A and B are shown apart, each in its own frame.
Chain A
Amino acid sequence: MFANFDFDVIRRSLGYLFFDGMTFTLTLTGLGALGGLIFGTLIALMRLSGYRLLGRIAGLYVDLMRSLPLVLVIFWFYFLVPYIGQWVTGSSRPIRVGAFTSSLVTFILFEAAYFSEIMRAGIQSISKGQPAAASALGLTYAQSMRYVVLPQAFRNMLPVLLTQTIVLFQDTSLVYVLSIPDFLGAASKVAQRDGRLVEMYLFAAVVYFAISCFASFGVRRLQARIAIVR
């Protein structure tokens, strides 16, 4: 059944697929997760701050991001950011923003909504006595968060955060709408150039599957280890 297929196209394009495509995908995943975690933690802190207005703004943001399809946000952002940049800097024409920067910003903003919910659960899982003990020692609110609450929340939530990052890794393929050569984009380009659609998409699927599966396995191992330490 594979007689008409030319799997050699994969071997021939490996360099392009991995050095260009996969590097882009992993960079976007890594930076997106890091930025999303930092921004998401800030949103979680806003929601838990006790200032009603801050909490409402953060809550609205999370609800908004979670009720829009990611593709649409990527798309909109790519076309909107130049104009927002123009408006902010007051220049006479739209700012040029690269596709990478635009997609990275999109993923950070989008993932922040999900990471914030995870970090919020993590912070709430820490008993009230911990920040009280930190305050009693004279730590400020910020110090108590930085040194006592957030490290514990982060550690408790690490498996969930990593699982969300695996989802992000798969979602980065959506940047194809901006025709950026991420891993899937690269595979797709080769596929169309050489007319080998089935082979390339099959290969891309196998690679995504293998990496995600391997990562999930790692997360499960980690989860078991954390459970023992606690």
Chain B
Amino acid sequence: MIEISHVDKWYGPSFQALRDCTTSVAKGEVVVVCGPSGSGKSTLIKCVNALEPFQAGEIILDGIKVNDPKTDLPKLRARVGMVFQHFELFPHLKIIENLCLAQEKVLGRSHDEAMAKAAKLLDRVGLKDHARKYPAELSGGQQQRVAIARALAMDPIAMLFDEPTSALDPEMISEVLDVMVDLAREGMTMMVVTHEMGFASKVAHRVIFMDQGEIVEDALKTDFFGSPRSDRAQKFLSKILSH
């Protein structure tokens, strides 16, 4: 589903954000990407739907080369859902309108069709009573669930999560993770940048550990938590699991 091979990315001439990153996510697979901050994990996931350009290597998404200038990027992006750290709901639109906008403007669905889909998804994330509110009236956890519903409304073939719980208060993290766990169990292809190792051990198939722009470790979940091969991954794990 997602094939990343030998991707290099520089910010300016001197700083290399990604170094020869190669990995893949198969259909129905849940892959967690973790690593210390500044390790390039968010950058990598943003390369997958070309929100960030990269200079070398290639990424193939469902058979389509992302970094081909001939690729219709909006069309490609519409097929992959993305959830951001800071939710990025559109504050000037009501919740239901946030869910309908791209369905109507990108997929060309009728208003009624989009509304029906939106209502169904809001119900699914437990927020159907908030359809007529504005994003600012919702808590962070609720906003993030809306953001997930908004991405799902496009019937994506895969979902990308960029630190979906990092900006949330602790008591709101679980309500978002619950939605993500359900999604994973239904067989959604997911690439998740997160520090939530509980989520990783519960639903991930594979864990990728990144440090300084490199994929240091790419292992099955049991191997990763059992005995990470690299020192850096061991250090990282001991730091975040010790509390």
Quick check: A136 and B90 within 8 Å, CB to CB? Answer: no
User: Nearest residue in B to A147 (C-beta to C-beta)?
Assistant: B101
Bound CA–CA A132/B88 (angstroms): 9
- B102 to A, closest residue via Cβ: A137
CA distance A182 to B77 in the complex (A): 53
The stretch that binds A, out of B30-38, B78-86, B180-188, is B78-86
Q: With the chains together, A220 CA to B54 CA distance in Å?
A: 47
Name which of A135, A137, A229 has the most chain B CB atoms within 10 A of its CB. Answer: A137
From B90, which residue of chain A is reached at the shortest CB distance? A148
For residue B91, CB closer than 8 A to chain A, the reply is yes
Count of residues in B whose CB is under 8 Å from the partner chain: 27
What are the residues of chain B within 8 A of A134 when measuring CB–CB? 90, 102
Judge whether B92 and A138 touch: CB under 8 Å: no
Question: Could you tell me if A137 and B101 are in contact, using CB atoms closer than 8 angstroms?
Answer: yes
- Quick one: given A132-B51, A132-B84, A133-B84, are A138 and B90 in contact (CB under 8 Å)? no
Question: Which residues on the A side are within 8 Å of B154 (C-beta)?
Answer: 137-138
Check B86–A129 contact: CB distance below 8 A. Answer: yes
Residue among A129, A132, A133, A134 facing the most chain B CB atoms (10 A cut-off): A133
Q: B116 interface residue, CB < 8 Å from A?
A: no
Is A140 an interface residue when CB atoms closer than 8 A count as contact?
A: yes
Q: How far is the CB of A152 from chain B (nearest CB, A)?
A: 5
- The answer to whether the Cβ of A155 comes within 8 Å of any Cβ in the partner chain is yes
B86 adjacent to A137 (CB under 8 Å): no
- Give bound CA distance, A89 to B80, whole Å: 51
Shortest A183–chain B CB gap in Å is: 36
Do A147 and B88 touch across chains, with their CB atoms under 8 A apart? no
Question: Known contacts being A137-B102, A138-B106, A230-B136, is A130 close to B77, with CB within 8 Å?
Answer: no
B70 contacts chain A at the CB level, 8 A cutoff: no
Interface size class of A (residues with CB under 8 A): 20 to 34
Q: Give Cα distance in the complex from A140 to B73, angstroms.
A: 9
Kindly provide the distance from the CB of A4 to the nearest chain B CB, expressed in whole angstroms: 58
Contact A137–B92 (Cβ < 8 Å): no
Q: Of residues 94 to 148 in B, which have CB atoms within 8 Å of A's CB atoms?
A: 101-102, 105-107, 136
Q: How far apart are the CA atoms of A129 and B90 in the complex, in Å? A: 10
| B133 CB to nearest chain A CB (Å) | 13
The answer to whether B105 touches A136, judged by C-beta atoms less than 8 angstroms apart, is no
Assess whether A135 is in contact with B102, with CB atoms less than 8 Å apart: no
A143 proximal to B (CB < 8 A) = yes
Q: Which residues of A contact B151 (CB under 8 A)?
A: 136-137
Of the candidates B79, B89, B92, B151, the one having the most CB atoms from chain A within 10 angstroms of its own CB is B92
Please name all residues of chain B whose beta carbon is closer than 8 Å to the beta carbon of A139 when the two chains form the complex.
74, 101-102, 105-106
**A126: nearest chain-B partner, CB-CB:** B91
Give the distance to chain A from B159, nearest Cβ to Cβ, in Å.
Answer: 11
Q: Knowing A129-B84, A135-B51, A135-B74 touch, does A155 contact B92 (C-beta < 8 A)? A: yes
Contacts of A229 in B (CB 8 A): 136
Is A137's CB under 8 angstroms from B84's CB? Answer: no
Once the chains are docked, how many angstroms separate the CA of A15 from the CA of B80?
A: 64
A residues less than 8 Å from B106 (CB atoms): 137-139, 143
B74 CB contact (under 8 Å) in A130, A132, A138, A230: A138
Interface status of A151 (Cβ within 8 A of chain B): yes
Q: Which residues of A contact B82 (CB under 8 A)?
A: 133, 136
Q: Which of B89, B90, B101, B150 counts the most chain A CB atoms within 10 A?
A: B90
**Are A138 and B86 in contact (CB-based, < 8 A)?**
no
User: Given contacts A155-B92, A230-B136, are A136 and B49 in contact (CB under 8 A)?
Assistant: yes
Q: Is the CB of B105 within 8 A of A143?
A: yes
**B105 x A130 contact (CB < 8 A):** no
Q: A138-B154, A155-B92 are in contact. List 15 more A-B contacts (CB 8 A).
A: A130-B88, A130-B90, A132-B84, A133-B82, A133-B84, A136-B80, A137-B77, A137-B154, A138-B102, A138-B107, A139-B105, A147-B101, A148-B90, A230-B91, A230-B136
Which residues in B have some Cβ–Cβ distance to A below 8 Å?
A: 49, 51, 73-75, 77-82, 84, 86, 88-92, 101-102, 105-107, 136, 150-151, 154
